[in-house]
């Protein structure tokens, strides 16, 4: 007699299962996220009767089991927390054509001399992969290529070859023959990642899985995919520019929000060891509407140029921001209107961060506000000025963390003046050649750097 099938619905956001379809997920409240999954009632994962899981005492475990190795790419190692961890599962996400495959193939060139690597390509043929490897200068070594999309064939090749590193490009092309859904669907991505993770943990294989992002900017597939892996990396940047940013959104073995900066050249990606100099290159001198902010990305301070353009509005006021959160930019404009004495409500305001960097830290508030004020008053701040501080709704400038570290980076890059909060948490170490301009609120900051002559 044919086995009866059971139908469940899985939420792509939280991964919860429900027996009936609904427009709204009963667990997380997300709309239109339930996808159908048909299960064989007699199927399921078979258990080994001779295998009994044994719990271990925490005090008896050896924490030295975490073994790291270098990928051969310094910026990649930084984002991973000092190198790749043996037995970890890393998800690398990004828009198509941003450079994910290029980065991993260059890692193969650096690590293939000492470690055996299996590169599984579900999007390119073996010949196409060979042509791209020749262009990037990837030759020889213990690098093996497999053009396959069937999950069982991929797992069998990995168990036969016994590599140290497995790269799967991409998870949206891999399919499990036991499932009737199409490759790239929520069910396929979820189940394939689960089996790959089991192979990774049981054989201590370092596995890199490539994932494309959807139009909302998140990795395509169920949200539970990001919960299963050990590390989630996002490769960001505009394809029209040469710079790329690799950001760690999740890392069980290192710091989150660490970034690595790369430059796309003819022969592949090149590490940018000093991203502050890269982001400040070509900066206009004594031009209104520009200010330098210092933010902490992971473990290092980075200087970025914030530009603003404020013009009289012919119709409704427009507020457009690139690299700064829209709601945060609207709040800063409201504070400047109410507390700073600038009539920016009737103006079109445009804010941009040079280099494709996204400033999420509140420490960039003061630099953004001073750039807006400079453009509105049409007076330059000076090329030697930087600003650090968070702005509250009352217009006050609040202290930020790691102020000494930020000031050292500002001084190292040749800046002579820096606007800082009047009240800081830690003791400030004086730095020769750097003039500090304390300000209690946004009005004092504007008066200190944009006073009329």
In this prediction, residue 42 carries a pLDDT of: 43
Picking from 388, 328, 330, the residue whose alpha carbon sits closest to that of residue 358 is 328
267 C-beta neighbours (distance < 10 Å), count: 10
Burial pattern 424-441, b for ≥16 Cβ within 10 A else e, equals beeeeeeeeebeeebbeb
| pLDDT of 186 | 78
Work out the burial of residue 201: count CB atoms within 10 Å of its CB; fewer than 13 is exposed, 13-18 middle, 19 or more buried: middle
Give this prediction's pTM: 0.76
At residue 84, the pLDDT reads 93
Question: What does each of the 453 residues of the chain score in pLDDT, given as a tens digit?
Answer: 455 557 778 787 777 788 888 888 888 888 887 877 666 544 444 445 555 667 888 887 776 656 889 999 999 999 998 899 999 999 999 888 888 999 999 999 888 788 999 999 998 999 999 999 998 888 867 899 999 999 999 999 999 999 999 999 989 899 988 877 788 877 788 889 999 999 999 898 999 999 887 666 666 566 778 888 999 999 887 767 788 889 898 999 888 878 898 988 888 899 988 888 888 888 888 899 999 999 998 778 999 999 999 998 877 667 788 889 999 999 999 999 999 999 998 888 999 998 778 888 999 999 999 999 999 999 999 999 999 999 999 999 999 998 999 999 999 999 999 999 998 866 788 899 999 999 999 999 999 998 754
What the block records as the tokens of 402 is 């790691």
Q: What is the pLDDT of residue 421?
A: 94
- Cβ neighbourhood burial of 199 (10 Å; 0-12, 13-18, 19+): middle
280-450: CATH number: 3.30.230.10
pLDDT for res 41: 46
Q: Is the peptide bond before 170 cis (omega within 30 degrees of 0)?
A: yes
**Order of strands across the sheet that contains 243-251:** 143-147, 117-121, 165-169, 206-212, 89-94, 231-236, 243-251, 259-265, 268-271
Architecture of domain 67-273 in this structure: 3-Layer(aba) Sandwich (3.40)
Q: State residue 102's pLDDT score.
A: 92
Residues 430 and 415: beta-carbon distance below 8 Å: no
* Cα dihedral: 269, 274, 280, 285 (round 10): -130
DSSP single-letter state for residue 175: B
Which 8-state DSSP code applies to residue 44?
Answer: S
Please tell me the predicted confidence (pLDDT) of residue 1.
Answer: 43
Element (H, E) at 296: strand 290-297
Q: In whole angstroms, give the CA distance from residue 214 to residue 52.
A: 41
In angstroms, rounded to a whole number, what is the distance separating the alpha carbons of residues 1 and 127? 47
């Amino acid at each position: 007699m044919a086995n009866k099938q059971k139908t469940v619905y899985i939420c792509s956001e939280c991964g919860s299962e429900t027996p009936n379809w609904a427009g709204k997920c009963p667990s997380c409240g997300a709309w239109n996220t339930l996808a159908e999954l048909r299960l064989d009632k007699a199927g399921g994962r078979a258990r080994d009767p001779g295998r009994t899981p044994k719990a271990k005492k925490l005090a008896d475990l050896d924490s030295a089991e975490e073994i790291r190795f270098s990928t051969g790419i310094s910026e990649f190692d930084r984002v991973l927390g000092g190198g790749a961890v043996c037995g970890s599962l890393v998800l690398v996400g990004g828009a198509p054509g941003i450079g994910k495959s290029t980065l991993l193939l260059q890692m193969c060139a650096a690590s293939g001399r000492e470690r055996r690597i299996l590169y599984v390509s579900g999007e390119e043929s073996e010949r196409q992969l060979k042509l791209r490897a020749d262009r990037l200068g990837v030759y020889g070594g213990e690098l093996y290529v497999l053009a396959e999309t069937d999950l069982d064939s991929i797992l069998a090749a990995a168990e036969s070859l016994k590599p140290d590193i497995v790269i799967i490009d991409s998870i949206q092309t891999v399919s499990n023959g036991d499932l009737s859904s199409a490759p790239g669907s929520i069910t396929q991505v979820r189940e394939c990642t689960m089996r790959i993770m089991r192979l990774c943990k049981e054989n201590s294989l370092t596995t890199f899985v490539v994932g494309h992002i959807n139009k909302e900017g998140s990795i395509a597939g169920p949200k539970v995919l990001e919960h299963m892996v050990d590390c989630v990396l996002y490769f960001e940047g505009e394809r029209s520019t040469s710079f790329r940013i690799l950001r760690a959104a999740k890392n069980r073995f290192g710091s989150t929000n660490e970034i690595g900066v790369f430059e796309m050249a003819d022969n592949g990606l090149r590490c940018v060891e000093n991203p502050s100099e890269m982001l400040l290159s070509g900066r206009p001198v004594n031009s209104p509407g520009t200010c330098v902010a210092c933010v902490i990305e992971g473990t290092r301070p980075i200087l970025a140029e914030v530009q603003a353009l404020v013009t009289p509005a012919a119709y409704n006021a427009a507020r457009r921001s690139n690299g700064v959160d829209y709601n945060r930019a609207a709040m800063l404009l409201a504070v400047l209107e109410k507390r700073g004495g600038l009539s920016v409500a009737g103006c079109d305001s445009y804010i941009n961060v040079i280099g494709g960097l996204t400033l999420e830290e509140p420490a960039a508030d003061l630099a953004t506000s001073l750039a807006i004020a400079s453009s509105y008053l049409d007076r330059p701040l000076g090329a030697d000025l930087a600003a650090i501080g968070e702005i509250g709704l009352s217009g006050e400038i609040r202290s930020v963390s790691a102020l000494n570290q930020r000031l050292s980076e500002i001084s190292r890059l040749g800046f002579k003046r820096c606007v800082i909060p009047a009240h800081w948490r830690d003791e400030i170490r004086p730095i020769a050649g750097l003039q500090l301009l304390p300000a209690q609120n946004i009005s004092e900051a504007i008066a200190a750097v944009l006073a009329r002559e």
